[in-house]
Amino acid sequence: MKPLNIGMIGYGFMGRTHSNGYRQANRFFDLEYQPVLKAVCARNEEKAKAFAEQQGYESIETDWRKLIARDDIDAVDVCTPNNLHKEISIAAAEAGKMVLCEKPLAMSVAEGIEMCEAVEKAGVANMVWYNYRRVPAVTLAKQLIDEGRLGKVFHYRANFLQDWTINADVPQGGAATWRLDAEAAGSGVTGDLLAHCIDTALWLNGDIEDVSAMTETFVKERVHAETGAKQPVTIDDACMFHCHFKNGSLGLFESTRYARGHKALYTLEVNGENASLRWDLHDLHRLEYFDHGDDSIVRGWRSVHVSDGDQPYMGNWWVPGLQIGYEHTFIHQVADFLKSLETGEPAHPNFRDALETQKVCDAVLASAKERCWKNI
């Protein structure tokens, strides 16, 4: 097997999910490349050491520029807050490294364009971690749609609901709560959660033509986690938009961190002329499917337990009937990336694909701000 030396920048929750993916992919998939956890970089040396020990990295760096400059690093994984994605990704590409960037690609479309140009100019493999495409049930939805089973699509709707910021005492900024700080995150739920829904929607249902959105910031001031200073909150706490897809269907999207009782509920539903399907992250190995072509006396919503060897990714997981979990989506994404290095076919979503999601996010935020429709 050919080693692929990984340099991880960042050490949060996503750093853990990706590291697990690198460690596991070769245990389930037959691949030419084998990730090697070479180095992790964090500004805080103690934290970098603790992460390296827990996840199995061979060495640490405290300056990401040093990690990128190392000859023994093949691929850089950008797992930092969003405001560093651009600088690090471009520097890594210019140093000839492959780049795997956490979502959303960038803080804005303008940044995203620069990032695409950098990886394309350098000719390096690149990918963005929109992991929900790799849930076998969601991949099966893609397969059913591509086979034409739904026929003409009329409606696409998706929600991503959480409740972790309802308490006004939750600070913003800092290592744990940077997602609430516009300077580090760029936006609130639009970039953090709706971006997932948009990525999946573009993949399943094609391009979006235009959007009309509204956002709300429910808690107007928060204390900064590091300085203790009270600051205005400038992210979107909730966002809803509707849209026209280029295939003629209508889209409806909602995301919030103020839906009491929902911790991370991502649901989607697609209604076509001949069939419908729906999926729910809390029951992630099931795809609900309604086929109007069924005999009318038994017609109804089927609950397809996606754990059979014939279904996407499932041939590689132990025995049929034993379902998988959230963390495996990252293993699948690593496996697909490694396979792409073998075949030379780009892994998706790459930076260009993620730029399309960024365009929708930017248009959604602009539409909400200006209270008007925006073309993509």
In the complex, the smallest distance separating the C-beta of residue 130 from ligand SOE, rounded to whole angstroms, is 9
Of all helices (H) and strands (E), which one includes residue 61? strand 59-61
In the complex, the smallest distance separating the C-beta of residue 184 from ligand SOE, rounded to whole angstroms, is 12
Closest Cα partner for 236 from 219, 251, 250, 261? Answer: 219
CA–CA separation, 367 and 242 (whole Å): 11
The reply on whether position 353 binds ligand SOE by CB under 6 A is no
205 φ/ψ sector (left φ>0, alpha ψ -120 to 50, else beta): alpha
Q: Of residues 74, 181, 192, 254, which one binds ligand SOE by CB under 6 A?
A: 192
| Interstrand relation of 250-256 and 221-223 (parallel, antiparallel or unpaired) | unpaired
The reply on whether position 77 binds ligand SOE by CB under 6 A is no
Q: Kindly tell me which of 70 and 196 has the beta carbon lying closer to ligand SOE.
A: 196
The reply on whether position 168 binds ligand SOE by CB under 6 A is no
In the complex, the smallest distance separating the C-beta of residue 281 from ligand SOE, rounded to whole angstroms, is 9
CA–CA separation, 203 and 2 (whole Å): 31
Q: Kindly tell me which of 106 and 341 has the beta carbon lying closer to ligand SOE.
A: 106
Closest Cα partner for 1 from 37, 35, 24, 28? Answer: 35
Closest Cα partner for 156 from 99, 195, 208? Answer: 208
CA–CA separation, 150 and 276 (whole Å): 6
In the complex, the smallest distance separating the C-beta of residue 129 from ligand SOE, rounded to whole angstroms, is 8
Q: Kindly tell me which of 85 and 196 has the beta carbon lying closer to ligand SOE.
A: 196
The reply on whether position 199 binds ligand SOE by CB under 6 A is no
In the complex, the smallest distance separating the C-beta of residue 256 from ligand SOE, rounded to whole angstroms, is 12
Q: For 184-247, give the DSSP string.
A: HHSSSHIIIIIHHHHHHHHHHH--EEEEEEEEE-S--EEEBTTT--EEE--S-SEEEEEEEETT
In the complex, the smallest distance separating the C-beta of residue 10 from ligand SOE, rounded to whole angstroms, is 12
The reply on whether position 176 binds ligand SOE by CB under 6 A is no
In the range 250-309, which residues lie near ligand SOE by CB under 6 A? 264
In the range 145-164, which residues lie near ligand SOE by CB under 6 A? 162
Q: Kindly tell me which of 170 and 214 has the beta carbon lying closer to ligand SOE.
A: 170
Q: 235 near 113, Cβ under 8 Å?
A: no
Q: Kindly tell me which of 68 and 197 has the beta carbon lying closer to ligand SOE.
A: 197
Q: Kindly tell me which of 97 and 196 has the beta carbon lying closer to ligand SOE.
A: 196
What phi and psi, each to the nearest 5 degrees, are found at residue 300?
Answer: 175, 175
In the complex, the smallest distance separating the C-beta of residue 265 from ligand SOE, rounded to whole angstroms, is 10
Binding residues (CB under 6 A) for ligand SOE: these are: 162, 192, 196, 264
